[in-house]
Amino acid sequence: MLPLLTTLTLAQTTVSAPLLPPKPAPAPQRVIPPVEVMPPQASLSGQESLQPLEIFRPQEVRPLPGRLDEVPVFNSNSPEVVQTEGILLSTFPPAGKLYPNAHLNYPFQGRFDFFSHHISRARNANETRSLFQGVIVYNPTLEPVKLEVLQGASYLTRPDAIFIDLPSYKEDPLGTVFSGPGSRVVNDILRGRRQGLWLPLMEIPPGTARMLMNLPIPAGTVTPTSNGRSTLLRLWSSGPLYMANLAMYAPSNDNGGERPPTLEEWQDLLVRGNLSGPRDVPPTPVAQVGNFARITYGRVAGVAIGSQWQANLTDNPKVDYLTIPSPGRAFSYGLSTLYRGTFGTAQIQSARMAVRYPDTAYQANGNYGVQYSLTLPLLNPSRQTQSVAILMQTPLKDDARAAGLLFVKPPEQRVFFRGPVRLRYTDDEGLPRTRFVHLVQMRGQEGEPLITLTMRPGDRRLVQVDFLYPPDSTPPQVLTVQTLAPAR
């Protein structure tokens, strides 16, 4: 009989540098980039329809320097909506399992991440038993293996992180601004936090399994009867470990109420269970995407390779500066680009899959939970003082256009990005600043400056932009450097 994992009760640990109070935003300056506005279509009656305007911004769109690292990520996002018990993702060996195809045979060792996002949805108001999510780790060796939880967070939609309307730009010095569990999870990890759900260190004896996670996703009794849980862990192991993410409805206790499943019950499901359902729509094969007007990317279930994208944005690899654009001009770098969505750069940033289930995504499209750490060593080589803005934007997804970006005014009322961004820079008084900003962007939204810097002739200014691509977001986005035109 394998021992049960005791309940963990460690106070939440927070690691974050003290923040200076944010500097008041500078007065807005007039931006005069070249613009082509596509007029609204005329109706049959000859009157103009009230369709949003499409605005094309001619500018350079560059591939993002750098690349993803080689850290493997246990990436469990299919099926997104879980309505049957079973295996969400297992990297155990298939030997001895009733359904061998449900196990991908991939051991983790050293640095790796765990990402999971699933929704429990009751079929009707009478089927509201809590769905438990259990994560088993197993040591197949003859020596003890240490597993460290470096950072970690897990939140439910209700009551932890209800989706609420937020402004498109909101300062967040304390980490209290979020909407949805994905937004809240990446907020915690960006700040180096580890929830009290996990001890910092667990030791797994030889040939033994332990529960890394055993948490409910209660569907609730309100309409709609659904709830979601997002989880992101940064882990390190001293030896090889297998891992499985499982779904089981809460067993009944002696009083007829719900109780958490035991380790033995989870192990029985691991050995006897099949893949959970209902299965998501299979992806369009990558080799055939050119044959279809619309494609299906699919949801991810497997091991993706890449936890962080670090990049030093310079004019070229031989120099250590990034020349700001001329007044009224801008250039952009693609963020979380994917096939059929590279803005003409031909750069696909989606993490490759080391192993996956055949009916799930071929790549980790969206790079959910991946940290982008971007350094911009700005240089003003001109003889005039320039105002330079750094923006994150959500243009319409495009694959062929390499000479500009297409936006919509007003943007569609569909959230495509919702999460925090950390900015570190030297302000106009020469003081180091660290700011956290929560962004919400709709499809086609140009966005507003994250920061605006006044750069004197010959001035150099280092700007660092960090964010984790949030679950509940839709790629791609761009990071834009824009020099403002003088106000007339």
pLDDT tens readout for residues 121-139: 887 766 788 999 999 999 9
355 burial via Cβ count (<10 Å: 0-12, 13-18, 19+): middle
Instruction: Name the CA dihedral angle for 269, 273, 277, 279, rounded to a multiple of 10 degrees.
Output: 130
Task: Say yes or no to pLDDT of 442 above 70.
Answer: yes
Q: Rg (Cα) of the chain, in Å, rounded?
A: 24
Structure tokens at 285: 């094969």
Q: What is the pTM of this model?
A: 0.88
Residue of 93, 382, 131, 429 whose CA lies nearest to 277: 131
Q: What is the DSSP string of 421-433?
A: EEEEEE-TTS-EE
Query: Are residues 465 and 412 in contact, defined by beta-carbon separation less than 8 angstroms?
Result: no
Q: What is the DSSP string of 431-475?
A: -EEEEEEEEEEETTB----SEEEEE-TT-EEEEEEEEEPPTT--S
Task: Say yes or no to pLDDT of 2 above 70.
Answer: no
Task: Say yes or no to pLDDT of 35 above 60.
Answer: no
- Which runs of consecutive H residues, i.e. helices, occur in 191-321? 263-272
Measured CA to CA, the distance from residue 32 to residue 317 in angstroms comes to: 30
The neighbour count for residue 169, using CB atoms within 10 Å, is 17
pLDDT (tens digit, 9 = 90+) per residue, 356-401?
A: 999 999 999 999 999 999 999 999 999 999 999 999 999 999 988 6
Share of the chain above pLDDT 70, in %: 88
Q: Do the strands 386-393 and 477-483 form a parallel or antiparallel pair, or are they unpaired? A: antiparallel
Domain edges within the chain = 52-68+308-483, 79-167+179-272
Residue 333 phi, psi (nearest 5):
-120, 135
| Residue 292 identity (one-letter amino acid) | F
User: Which one has a higher pLDDT value, 194 or 42?
Assistant: 194
